[in-house]
Structure 1
Amino acid sequence: MVRTSLNTSLSKRRLRKSKGPSEDRLSDLPDELLCRILSELSTKDSVRTSLLSKRWRNIWLSVPVLDLDTRTFQDDDYLFLEFLDSFLESNKEQDIKEFKLIYDAGEHCDSDFVWRIDDVVKRRVCHLTVLNRINGDDALVRMPLSLYSCETLKTLTLYCVVLDNPKSELVSLPCVKSMHLEAVKFDGKKVLGTLISSCSVLEELIIVTHPGDYLEEVCVRSQSLKSFELESTPGDGYEEYERQLDPEVVIDAPRLEYMSISRYLSTSFKIDSIGSYAKVNIDVTFDVDYGDPEKIAMIYNFLIGISLVHEMIISAQTLEVIHVLSKLEPLPRFPNLSCLDASFIKSFWKLLPTFLGCCMNLQSFVLEFDSLPERDEMKVSYVPECFLSSLEYVNLFTPTTVTEPMNLPIYFVRNCAVLKELVLNESFSNMIRKIKRIPRLSQRCEVLVGTPTYEDVSHKHDLLSIMYP
């Protein structure tokens, strides 16, 4: 009886204890673990935890991540700087693993800004992002020279800032694997090239040029680079005829697996090396005199530079350059090209058989076009080598406004010996039955109506969407 009574009493005590206030187990965690938890939140939410209790009051100051937008400080520059300084001075030995700043200060002081970013860099920063909304040369936002020798930096993202010439400073970024540079001004012709070559393990590089960058040359020499994207942004209000020329380009990256060049207009584009079997997206034109043998040789060598790629997306503008070149001399061959996505316009339909003739091992072909060729516009008697040996998938895509699009499907159906699938978009829907009745060289060929599988990579990395969500 005594034992039963004792057990009952203990059970009641446990019940009363469980009904009391819930235990705050989160606050009992060590500071290091709490900082790791808060580092997954935005800085704004991290600061809010200081209101929870005395235990939480200063935890956010030890979080190694800072994510700031000056506009969240109600356009009060002093309040923003006070907050940033309090964070930087709270624990001067604290590493800052990640620092992101969207900057829009009304009263910009260059020297004060530089020393604050310099403090961040020297705090062994790993991921640095500075996106500047200030426009105009009267308020240039500069990066500290210490950035060139940050041994812990792994990713660097910059928008509308200035990188000064390091001059005699030691330039070495041994841990940087990813860089995204947009609208960046370089105070010296060789600054960009020096920056890239100093990143010994760099794997991903994105450069977006803007009018007023004063960038003279994009020199990409890297033994480690795997992905490179270069895009030109002409700017609002620019007509095509008044576009500024983009910087000259030199690429020497033997391990490059992916390259995308978008909306680029240049007088010189040199490819010393990229990886064999790479994938490329090419949208580049040349402002050159086609009567100049040196310029013709430059364009031919550009094609030689991409001749070993495995997959290619090519714009109508670049195909127009190739069309002009094909009239002057034979085109180089593309022996490794397996997948091709090409955009054609009416003025160079005669190029199609010639260009496909250079792709002797082509397996998949997506063709986008704005008009249909007349029969005499194509060398219908010429059958490219890939038609007989390798071409298995063809996808034809044209606007629905194009009518009577019969000649092109006939060209492929009658001449492709190993064709497995011919996909046509809705423009062909009214005549799909007629196309299916056409005698086919390949008995395995299916004719289908579907959507093209081409890739749109334009504006893929626009930092403005981050600054103005």
Structure 2
Amino acid sequence: MSRADRISELHDNLLTQILSYRPTKEAVRTCLLSKRWRKVWASVPVLDFDFADFLSDDKHMRLRSECHSNFVKFIDAVLDLQQAQQLDRFRLVSKCLVKAYQCYDLPLTTWIPLILQKTPRVLSIYVQSNLVNVDVPDLAFTCSSLEEMKLKIDDRWFPVLNPALVRLPHLRKLSLGHFTIKADCMNNLLQGCPNLGELELYACVLNFSQISCDNFKSLVIVGCYYDSAEIRVSIPSLQYLELAVMSGQTAGFVFENMSSLVKACVCFLTVDYLEWNFSDSETNILNCLLGVTNLDVVLYGSRAKDMLKHALKNCPFFENLKAAHFESFEGYLYGCIVMIDRFVQHAPILEDLTFHCYEDKSDEIELLMELRKVVGDHRNCRSVESMQGHCYYGSLEKLELLSLEYWKIFNKIGWEYKEAEEEHEQLEEDVGEGEAWMEEEAGEDVEADLEEEDEKDVEQ
């Protein structure tokens, strides 16, 4: 019996489960095998669409537009023919040159309600559209079946996220990207998602002053701009924290009640074409991580070591720290030896000190020798060279993308401030012209009255 025949003998439920691990475009192709497969693919409880699977290698604009048009038509057809009564996962990724398709919008306001009718467990949407506004309907925040939701809508303008109602009783994981999040929205999210355990905010404009809850286990905030004096974070149940401390900020985070924190990853990231700045609250960022047992420190940019120096200015004692890892990307980790030495001396039970240099200017052999000297007098600690980063920022590409997203936010904020200043200046100019005109009119009226009185005097 041939291999194809053995597969055909499998039960439909098993076939749909197998197809659920493949992109929807591949699953649909199986309808060419036989009439039976037409029913099988349409019953798969997973829909997975990626524009990259439709993108032609031809760079001609007309053909690119055709690819995007075919992508939209394909999704429309699948949603029309899909027969599964209930969906497990829906994933949509469209981030390949979408900015070229100004005339081809993604009708999320039509697709998402159709998806939510099938009560999905996971909703994941990542759309990059620099020239087209992409709206997420409010229904996405009232689907009671959702356990995981990822919404990253990169449409250049960082739209304000403001759902009319948030009611997601079973949501455990929420990831938001490229939105402006204000205080009301954050409060509604925390209150409307009582079982939320993981929150990720990526390249967002944060316009609120606090995050306070009792059930979070994981918090990730990277590439965000803090549009407030400071953000106070109070999460007693938090076990994992990932934070990117960016140059150019004038405010930062203040962490309180972090007694359950076990692992933390802090990235000090500087962008050369942005003004370098480091807030007072960020200076104490490591002081808020006293209870961690595992700490990753990532340095990216020419002045990242200066940020680390500020953070270790008042170095606390890490009484529970057992493992520390330093990563340097395009930096100079050798210039941090004094700071690392101070750090090690403030970690009395530290066992593992590892490091990773990626395109670093440091000499790895000399650096390893210096680090061994640092830990030589430290009884429990051993230095181990790590050739690969093991934290989230394990690749240079991710850090470059993160710095690019941060630069985009600064451009947007700067453009808004410039536009507001221009409007203010124009208003002042208009008011000044109006006042001058009123004074001129008033002066003419006074002169006319005086001339009229003089004429009356002459006649008398």
Q: TM-score range by the shorter chain?
A: 0.5 to 0.7
Q: Does 1:63 align with 2:44?
A: yes
Contact 1:197–1:222 (Cα < 8 Å) also in 2: no
Query: 1:289 deviation in Å?
Result: 8.3
Partner residue in 2 for 1:87:
78
**Structure 2 residue matching 1:57: 3-state secondary structure:** helix
Equivalent in 172, 192, 195 of residue 198 of structure 1 = 192
Aligned partner of 2:120 in structure 1 is: 125
Whole-angstrom distance in 2 between the partners of 1:180 and 1:215? 14
Paired AA for residue 350 in structure 2: L
Cα 1:164–1:409 change in 2 (3 A) is: closer
TM-score normalised per structure 2: 0.64
Indicate conservation of the 8 Å contact 2:350/2:381, yes or no: no
Q: Which moved more, 1:21-30 or 1:279-288?
A: 21-30
C-alpha distance 463-34 of structure 1, shift in aligned 2 (>3 A) = farther
How far the C-alpha of 1:126 sits from its partner, in A, is 1.4
| Mapped pair 1:223 → 2:214 | yes
Matches within 5 A, 1:101-140: 101-103=92-94, 104=98, 107-109=103-105, 112-136=107-131, 139-140=132-133
Matches within 5 A, 1:160-239: 160-161=153-154, 165-166=161-162, 168-169=164-165, 171-182=166-177, 184-186=178-180, 188-192=182-186, 194-195=188-189, 198-209=192-203, 213-217=204-208, 220-232=211-223
> Matched residues in 2 for 1:54 and 1:404: separation?
65
The residue number in structure 2 matching 1:333 is: 317
- Superposed, 1:230-249 pairs within 5 Å as 230-232=221-223, 249=231
Once the 2 structures are TM-superposed, how far is the Cα of residue 145 of structure 1 from its aligned partner? 0.3
Gaps of at least 5 residues in structure 1 are: 1-17, 234-243, 371-396, 424-449
Alpha carbons of structure 1 residues 52 and 273: separation in structure 2 relative to 1, 3 Å: same
Identify the residue that residue 363 of structure 2 maps to in structure 1: 400
C-alpha change, 1:304 and 1:34, in structure 2 (3 Å) is same
Amino acid at match of 1:48: R
Judge conservation of contact 1:205–1:227 (CA < 8 Å) in 2.
yes
Match of 1:147 in 2: 140
2:234 equivalent in structure 1: 252
Question: C-alpha distance in 2, partners of 1:285/1:29?
Answer: 53
CA-atom RMSD in angstroms:
4.4
- In the other structure, the counterpart of 2:22 is 41
Q: SS at 2:238's partner residue?
A: coil
Taking the aligned partners of 2:153 and 2:16, their CA distance within structure 1 comes to 32
Aligned counterparts of 1:350 and 1:463: Cα–Cα separation in 2: 25
CA distance in 2, matches of 1:368, 1:87: 46
Q: Is the 8 A contact 1:230 1:260 kept in 2?
A: yes
Matched, 1:276 2:278: no
Counterpart of 1:334 in 2: which secondary structure? coil
Are the aligned partners of 2:182 and 2:208 in contact in 1 as well (CA < 8 Å)? no
Letter in structure 2 aligned against 1:268: G
Q: Secondary structure at the match of 2:236?
A: coil
Q: CA deviation at 1:120?
A: 0.9
User: 1:157 corresponds to which letter in structure 2?
Assistant: K
One-letter amino acid of the counterpart of residue 65, structure 1: V
Contact 2:138 2:164 in 1 (8 A): no
Distance 1:342 1:79 in 2: 46
Q: Aligned partners of 1:124 and 1:464: how far apart in 2? A: 37
Contact 1:193 1:219 survives alignment (8 Å): no
Q: Kindly indicate whether the alpha-carbon contact (under 8 Å) linking 1:77 and 1:106 is maintained by their aligned counterparts in 2.
A: no
| 1:359 equivalenced with 2:352 (yes/no) | no
Question: Is this contact kept in 2: 1:366–1:454, CA < 8 A?
Answer: no
Deviation of 1:278 (Å): 1.0
Structure 2 contact 238–261 (Cα < 8 Å) conserved: no
Q: Which residue of 2 aligns with 1:11?
A: none
What is the Cα deviation at residue 114 of structure 1? 0.7
- Using the aligned pairs only, state the percent identity: 22
1:101 to 1:456, Cα distance in 2 relative to 1, 3 A: closer
Specify the SS of the correspondent of 2:77.
Answer: helix
Distance 1:48 1:464 in 2: 37
Task: Letter of the 1:260 partner, please give it.
Answer: E
**1:53 is matched with which residue?**
34
**Aligned to 2:220, what secondary structure does the other structure show?**
strand
Q: 1:25 to 1:246 in 2, by over 3 A?
A: same
CA deviation string 1:138-194 (max 9, x = no partner): x1211110111111112222333577644542x122222233333x22364543553
Partner secondary structure for residue 160 of structure 1: strand
1:386 paired residue number: none
* Distance in 2 separating the partners of 1:350 and 1:23: 65
Distance change >3 Å, CA 219–CA 51, structure 1 → 2: farther
Letter in 1 for 2:140: L
Q: 1:141 to 1:463 in 2, by over 3 A?
A: farther
Which aligned segments of 4 or more residues in structure 1 are displaced greater than 6 angstroms?
Answer: 244-247, 285-290, 367-370, 401-408
Aligned-pair CA distance for 1:118: 1.9
How many Å separate the matches in 2 of 1:208 and 1:280?
Answer: 17
User: Any stretches of 5+ residues in structure 2 without a counterpart?
Assistant: 56-65, 402-460
Is the 8 Å Cα contact of residues 220 and 252 (structure 1) preserved in structure 2? Answer: yes
Find 1:159's aligned residue among 152, 156, 178.
Answer: 152
